[in-house]
Amino acid sequence: MEEKLKKSDTLSVVGELAAGIAHEIRNPMTALKGFIQLLEDSIQENHSMYFNIISSELERIDSIINEFLILAKPQAVKFIRKDITEIMKETVDFLNAQAMLHNVQIQTFFDKELPFIFCEPNQMKKVFINLIKNAIEVMPKGGMITVIMESTTDQTLHISIRDEGAGISKDKIKKLGQPFFTTKEKGTGLGLMVTYKIIEEHKGSIIVESEMGVGSIFHIYLPF
């Protein structure tokens, strides 16, 4: 069951809009956070539950804004030729603690001497983080994530990230990457949107392969 994801033209419009709104919201957010902190310090009674709720909701707004800012037209982005196995290794190291907490193991198989990719390393890292995080989150009872990087015969780097999670139904695969599509209680539904946008900017593509009850594989193809 394979489904090629459609690249949406609306993405760039959304991106520009998102950047504008995100910047506008950030300033009042910072003020809010500061004053709530002050309030919390000055109130004696036990209102800590309210403050906890306020803080976690503010954090949620913060993470949505951060995701939105990434959608913004790239400004200081710097594309360079880079060995992206390095970026993947950093990402896996970085996420290993979180994975272990969830009983998840991450195994990697990289072809030797893979070609360098012309890319924006920070954005590429963001893609790997988003996909591996989703893989961790879809295995609440633990399991194995398998990351493979190989070059194909047609000048393309193939990266696959496989999980042993619940899988994604056919109708849901179509919704992946749509803003705010999430099935998680605390999800933003923006991670994959950002991911597709970044891969699109690298002239690559993403294909999702999934089987219910078995798991999913996110395939990324990047030209070199």
Footprint on this chain of Mg ion (rule: CB under 5 A) = 134, 191
Q: Is 171 exposed, middle or buried (0-12, 13-18, 19+ CB in 10 A)?
A: exposed
CB of 133 to Mg ion, least distance (A): 6
Please tell me whether residue 216 binds ligand ADP under the rule CB under 6 A: yes
Please tell me whether residue 187 binds ligand ADP under the rule CB under 6 A: yes
Nearest CA-CA partner of 152 in 214, 74, 204: 204
| 85 interacts with, out of Mg ion, ligand ADP, none, CB within 5 to 8 A per kind | none
Which residue among 12, 96, 182, 205 contacts ligand ADP (CB under 6 A)? 182
The string of DSSP codes covering 54-67 is: HHHHHHHHHHHHHH
In the complex with ligand ADP, the residue whose CB is nearer, 43 or 214, is 214
The answer to whether 116 touches 82, Cβ cutoff 8 Å, is yes
Contacts of 185 (CB under 8 A, 6+ apart): none
CB of 117 to ligand ADP, least distance (A): 23
Largest CA distance in the chain: 68
CB of 195 to ligand ADP, least distance (A): 7
Residues that bind ligand ADP (CB under 6 A): 130, 134-135, 138, 163, 165, 168, 176, 181-184, 187-192, 216
